[in-house]
Amino acid sequence: MAHFKKKSANTKQDVPTSAMPDVVFMLLIFFMVTTVLREVELKVQIDYTQAENIEKIEQKRLVSYIYIGPERLGPTQVGESKVQIDDAIVDDINAIRTIMYDKLMEQPRLIVSLRVDRDSDFGLITDVTQELRHAGTLRINYSTKREI
């Protein structure tokens, strides 16, 4: 009786890894394309409210954000409620009208997303929405998280 020869010994057992960089690069490119790096630095603190009956904004290109919340003064301190558009805090409420009007001219189907801190007074938000009405940007969205 002769020894049985192990059959598996002849076949190669390595997984071919030469295509691995290509696979990884493909994943990498996917994530690079889908990533949105944070475009603005928040100068106000925002703690979102929650709601049940919410809708998604599908077209992100149309969205312009207005941030309303207590101003960040230090790591833990916060000041009074302020309005921030893009990178700057807008002190003069009436200036919102011209800013938003210019944005509307660039993008006629503009949606304004209001990102408001939950403890803000509603009066300030009304002032802002009044300005939006004057500017003609009528599509708005109160940004909220989904209620769990």
Partner 1 sequence: MALLNKKKRPDPEIPGSSLADIAFLLLIFFLVTTTINVDTGIGLTLPPIPDENIEPPPIKERNLLNILVNAQGLVLLDETPSSITEVKQKVKDFITNCEPGNPCVENLSEDPTDAIISIKTDRQTPYDIYINMLDEVIGAYNELRDEKARALYGVPFNALEETSEQYQSIAKDVYPKKISIAEPDEGNS
Kindly tell me which of 90 and 116 has the beta carbon lying closer to partner 1. 116
Near partner 1 by CB under 8 A: residue from 24, 89, 93, 105: 24
Count of alpha carbons within 13 angstroms of residue 1, beta-carbon side? 1
Rule CB under 8 A: say whether 121 interacts with partner 1. yes
**How open is the CA angle 6-9-12, to the nearest 5 degrees?**
150
Q: Are 113 and 63 in contact (CB under 8 A)?
A: yes
Separation of alpha carbons 101 and 108, rounded Å: 10
The window from 2-10, 70-78, 101-109, 133-141 that contacts partner 1 (CB under 8 A) reads: 133-141
Strands 78-85, 88-90: pairing kind? antiparallel
Q: Does 53 bind partner 1 (CB under 8 A)?
A: yes
Can you give the binding site for partner 1, defined by CB under 8 A?
17, 20-21, 24-25, 27-28, 31-32, 34-37, 49, 51-57, 60, 63, 111, 113-114, 116-123, 125-126, 129-130, 132-134, 136, 138-146
